[in-house]
Structure 1
Amino acid sequence: MLKWFIVSMNKSALLVRLAIVIGFASIAIGFLSSQLFYKLTFNQEVAITQQSLGSLYKTIAATAATAAYLAEKDLAQEVVDGLATNEVVLNAKMNFENIDVVSNTNTFVEPVVFPIQSLFEVDKSIGTLVIAPNIQYIEERARQLAFDNSKAMILQAFVVTIVAIFVAFFLITRPMIEIARALHKTVPGEGNRLTVPDFHQNSELGELVNDVNVLLDKTEQQFTRERKLRKEIEALEKRFRMLFENSMSPIILMEPRGNIILFNVAFETILEKLNLQLKKSFGPLLENLFAEPEKLLGCVELAFANDEIATGEFKLQTSEDSASVWVQVVVTSVVNEDLREYYQITLHDISKRKKELESLAYQADYDKLTKLYNRQGLEKEIDVFAEQQRPFCLALIDLNWFKRINDIYGHESGDEILIFVADRIKKTLRTQDFGGRWGGDEFVLLLDGADEATTKDIVTRLVQRISKPYFLRKFNQNVAVGASVGAAFYPENGVKIQEIINLADQAMYIVKNDRDTDPEKSLKFAHELVTQEIIHVKRK
């Protein structure tokens, strides 16, 4: 108990503050009460003195009346002297028949006058009796009595304070300390609860303990839910991190300005592939990684303007000696609870698919043997020229004596000749021109914006190169081929592509049919055809 009491007596304790308040209140009340009691005691003593003087008067009234009636001065003197012996009487005086009898020489202060009644006539006054009360004695006695009462009241206040402190300690402070210590040891979620102190089942402290227990119940329920949710979140986080870290596709979370917040291992891998070091920023939307960043930015801006996810296929920036890296980019705008915007960027490496598509496109548009455009590839380029209404010359080439070489020396030798011709075409054409294998031993030249003179110059140089002997190592034999060329111009000779092709074909076959009679002529233009020449020519 003493330990509890000492603990509760620190300077900030509720019991100490309560004791101080009660003590000051008791002192103040005692002081005010003593002052009030002093006044009341004094007035009461004065009243008692007056009553005492009245009682004295009644005691000596008969003797005083006898002395006055008989005019006995000595008897009167005995009366006043007897009165003066009383503690409350300072002085006494009798007056009758012009005779004054005084007990002593003290001054009469606030004297009380009593009439001396006749012994025979009740209503007749035969003298007066003057009694001076002893004011000093009365005040001293009143002061002493008030002082004694004040001490008693202060002692009473002290006792009340001590009792109040102990009562407060046993009924309030100690239970509160017990509650505080129990609450301090209570860990929410472990099932611990507070015990209601004795005698407080229905008090405010009891209600407080019950409310705290209810709060602990709710807190424990909340903790249970939070633990369950935390476990679920941790499980989800592990799964997400597993997916995030093990994803084959780079995933990046970044600020719109370009600062990278989060990335996975795949992003580091692709940086190594690009021979780049990881750093905090590669520019907005990682634009420094792309060969054509303006296309990426334009794609994202357009998608975000329509509240869509931005997607597109873009080429990464690589060194000249490195293989091309293509990625499918998926950009999503994410806004968190603080209304801060982030970009989630996912890069899917499509280099292999892109390479396969390019290979398929190449196979579809290029001749496998000569590595020139095939007929389909040439037709696509012709369509582009036509759509853009760009003038061009279409020269159709048929090799002379090729079938004979192919029959004599075999298809492998024939393939060598075709490769040889394709090489000469590549070396003869200008950078803006196109050449391709039309089929078999036929080739086509697509000359961008060429006029008749340019076409003649190109065809002449090509025929000269093709006509030079070619050495077949397998047979240790030189062979030679020639070329018959027919040319038509777009749009001078027609605006329909098939019409241009037909005119060039007819012109080429006229040259081919005349090669024996006019071997020096290897080129004929469509506008040189006469009506009788525009006929169907049987291929030989």
Structure 2
Amino acid sequence: MIILSFSTFIFSAVYAYIYYNYIYETELKHSDEAVLQISQTISSTASIAAYLEDKDLANEVVNGLVSNDIIQSAALTNQQTVLAKSILFTEREAQSFDLPNPFILHESIGFIYVVPNTQFIRQNAREIALSSVQTLLIVIVPMLLLFAILSFFLISKPLGQLSQQLTSIIPGSAHRIEINEDHEFTEIGKIGKNINAMLSNTEMLFEQERSLRLEIEQLEKRFRLMFERSSSPTLLVREQGDVTLVNDAAKDLLAGMGIDCEERFPDNLGQYCKTPDILYTFTENSIQQKQVMQAEFEFTNPLTLSSVWLSIIILNTESDGQWYFQVFLADITSRKTMLNQLSHRAQRDSLTSLYNRYGAELTLVDWIDTHTEFSLLLLDLDEFKPINDIYGHNAGDEVLKHVAQSISYIVSNSDLVCRWGGDEFVVAIKTSDKHTINNIAQQLLEAINTPIRYERDGHQINLHVGVSIGISHFPTHANTLKGLVECADVAMYSIKKTSKNQFTFYST
């Protein structure tokens, strides 16, 4: 009630102040309009006085103006002289009005100068405004007090009671607001009913939330159990690299590799990875692009110093505004070993253990793609067919193994030796220096021409073969493998047709 009374007083004071200013400004405007009307009223007489230059008539006009309370002083002039002016007249404070020619339209023949009685006008405006405010307050204050009292008993007090009851109710409980019978069908009663409806909805939502929370807890336990007991090694990592969860399979895998699960990812793996830069780039791209990424990396096990291959899959996920990524690991060492063995078998000759034609072509094409200069020596054995025909294929196989071994002793590991097919061999040397190639070709001739001891039916037999060698250079003679082999083949057959057991370079 005190607050309402104080509010009523404040409202009344503010309203009275605004109303006072409004009346005051209105009265000032009325006074300005009155000065204008008075000036217009006597303008005809003043025009005649100015036209005739009649000073007596001009004095009467000025005296008539000054006799009005709102005008302090005045003056009347034509275009040349001052015809009349009152005492205390100052042109600096005066308002001027044109005097029209009584006989010629739109022609000015003089001016009336009027100085308003500002002090009187303002005093009069204040008195009128004050009187109006007093009258207004006599009417409005009792009405406002009555409104405040009614508002308190009909609105504020019932709302306060509702507020007290609402404060004591715990959200989600079965308690409700009690509605007074007097307010059963009033707006206060409607508010109370709406509040009770809201409390009922809140209780229902709380019950649903409790039920959902229990379900979520149960699901979380199940998923955590599935995560921890999963046979797939899995890590849950924050976007910054902090490892938050590691299942048992991942702990066993990383522990066996001597890797600390608590270290930041991928730093914990990077220090043992043989290509750490690629691993870091792979992880960074997955985080930035928010895409599923998969790659395979080779690691060195610090405990056994053996190679370990891991397949890494990174899956990004968002939860509560925080990005995580799930890291799935798989030890694929046995699969990689098997693939390497299969690849080795696919690229190697089973008799000589040298590269076969398929394996050699893969390497040579790579050299060509990377613009590596090399010389290709195509070797075809001389007098090999008679050995097969006379002593059998076993003897022929021994000759081929002996030749392969002899070539391997001469050629370095960085170069390539291949059984091209049948009794043909290919040697690729990473140089185009003719002197170096001459030396290697001469050594191959000498080594292959060395007699091969072969035991047959308890007897030692010396087997002899020669070799014809054709040589071509990349990229001098050809820029494709097929063209390079054809050039070496042309050079080799030029030896076969003449002397045999020699070497020569391809020439156009």
What TM-score, normalized by structure 2, do the two folds share? Answer: 0.56
Q: Distance in 2 between matches of 1:525 and 1:335?
A: 67
Relative distance call for 1:323 and 1:440 in structure 2 (3 A) is farther
Distance apart, 1:474 and its partner CA: 6.4
Query: Could you say what secondary structure the match of 1:316 adopts?
Result: strand
Matched, 1:300 2:283: yes
Cα distance between partner residues in 1 of 2:397 and 2:212:
74
- Give a deviation string over 1:372-416, Cα, whole Å, max 9, x none: 221122222322233333322111111233333334444344333
Match of 1:384 among 356, 366, 375: 366
Given the alignment of the two structures, is residue 526 of structure 1 paired with residue 492 of structure 2, yes or no? no
Q: Distance in 2 between matches of 1:251 and 1:293?
A: 20
Aligned to 2:352: 370
| Map of 2:484 onto structure 1 | 500
Listed as ranges, the matches of 1:70-219 within 5 Å are none
CA distance in 1, matches of 2:504, 2:440: 13
Q: Partners in 2 of 1:413 and 1:509 — Cα distance?
A: 25
| 1:355-380 deviation per Cα after TM superposition (whole angstroms, max 9, x unaligned) | 34333433333323322221122222
Distance 1:231 1:412, change over 3 A: farther
Task: Give the secondary-structure state (helix, strand or coil) at the position aligned to 2:329.
Answer: strand
Query: Which of 248, 261, 267 is the equivalent residue of 1:265?
Result: 248
Q: Which residue matches 2:292?
A: 309
Asked if the contact 1:188/1:216 (under 8 Å) is kept, the reply is yes
CA gap 1:471/1:212 in 2 versus in 1, 3 angstroms: farther
Aligned equivalents of 2:285 and 2:222: distance in 1? 34
The 10-residue stretch of structure 1 (255-264 or 427-436) with the greater mean CA deviation from structure 2: 255-264
Q: Secondary structure at the match of 2:326?
A: strand
1:429 aligns with 2:411: yes
Between the aligned partners of 1:325 and 1:461, the Cα distance in structure 2 is 41
- In the alignment, the residues of structure 2 paired with residue 510 and residue 299 of structure 1 have an alpha-carbon distance, to the nearest angstrom, of 54
Contact 1:394 1:447 in 2 (8 A): yes
Gaps of 5+ in 2: 1-163, 185-189
Where in structure 1 are there 5+ consecutive unaligned residues? Answer: 1-175, 530-540
Query: What code does the residue aligned with 1:457 have?
Result: N
- Deviation of 1:445 (Å): 0.5
Cα gap change, 1:257/1:288 in structure 2, threshold over 3 Å: closer, same or farther? farther
SS of corresponding position for 1:371: coil
How many residue pairs get aligned? The number is 338
Residue in structure 2 matching 1:232, options 211, 215, 227: 215
Match of 2:230 in 1: 247
Contact preservation (8 Å) 1:285, 1:297: no
Is the contact between residue 365 and residue 373 of structure 1 (CA under 8 Å) also seen in structure 2?
Answer: yes
Deviation at 1:203, TM superposition (A): 11
Measured in 2, the distance between the counterparts of 1:321 and 1:426 equals 32
Structure 1 distance, partners of 2:386, 2:303, is: 46
Name the larger-Rg structure. 1
* Structure 1 contact 331–346 (Cα < 8 Å) conserved: yes
| C-alpha distance in 2 between matches for 1:266 and 1:330 | 15
Deviation of the 1:323 alpha carbon:
4.8
Supply the distance in 1 between the matched residues of 2:303 and 2:261 (Cα, whole angstroms). 21
- Partners of 1:276 and 1:302 lie apart in 2 by 23
Q: Tell me, what secondary structure is at the counterpart of 2:300?
A: coil
Q: Spell out, residue by residue over 1:450-501, the C-alpha distance to the aligned partner (whole angstroms, 9 max, x if none).
A: 3222112112222322333334456552443434211112233333433321
Q: Is the 8 A contact 2:242 2:263 kept in 1?
A: yes
2:322 is equivalent to residue 346 of structure 1: no
Instruction: Pick closer, same or farther for the CA change 1:463–1:331 going to 2, 3 Å.
Output: same
Using the size of structure 1 for normalisation, the TM-score is: 0.53
Question: How far did 1:449 drift?
Answer: 1.6
Q: Which residue of 1 aligns with 2:301?
A: 318
2:432 to 450, 460, 466: 450
**Counterpart amino acid of residue 456 in structure 1:** N
Shift of 1:434: 0.9
Cα distance, 1:248–1:368 mapped onto 2, change above 3 Å: farther
Task: Please state how far the C-alpha of 1:442 moved relative to its aligned partner.
Answer: 0.8
Q: 1:440 aligns with which of 407, 422, 425?
A: 422
- The Cα of 1:210 is off from its aligned counterpart by 10
Which of 440, 443, 460 is residue 442 of structure 2 equivalent to? 460
The residue that corresponds to 1:415 in the other structure is: 397
Structure 1 vs Structure 2: percent identity of aligned residues? 32
Change (3 A) 1:341 1:416: same
Range with greater deviation from structure 2 (250-259 or 282-291): 282-291
1:325 alignment partner, SS class: strand
The CA deviation at 1:214 is 7.5
Conservation of the 8 A alpha-carbon contact between 2:234 and 2:247: yes
Q: Secondary structure at the match of 1:373?
A: coil
Tell whether the 8 Å contact from 1:309 to 1:331 is kept in structure 2 after alignment: yes
- Using the TM superposition, give the Cα deviation of residue 331 of structure 1 relative to its aligned residue in structure 2, in angstroms: 2.5
What is the alpha-carbon distance in structure 1 between the residues aligned to residue 355 and residue 278 of structure 2?
29
What CA deviation, in whole Å up to 9, does each residue of 1:308-359 have, x standing for no partner? 333322222335965532223222444432x444332222333344334333
CA RMSD of aligned residues (A): 4.0
Is contact 2:454–2:463 with CA below 8 Å preserved after alignment? Answer: no
Task: From the superposition, tell whether residues 462 and 279 of structure 1 become closer, same or farther in structure 2 (CA, over 3 Å).
Answer: farther
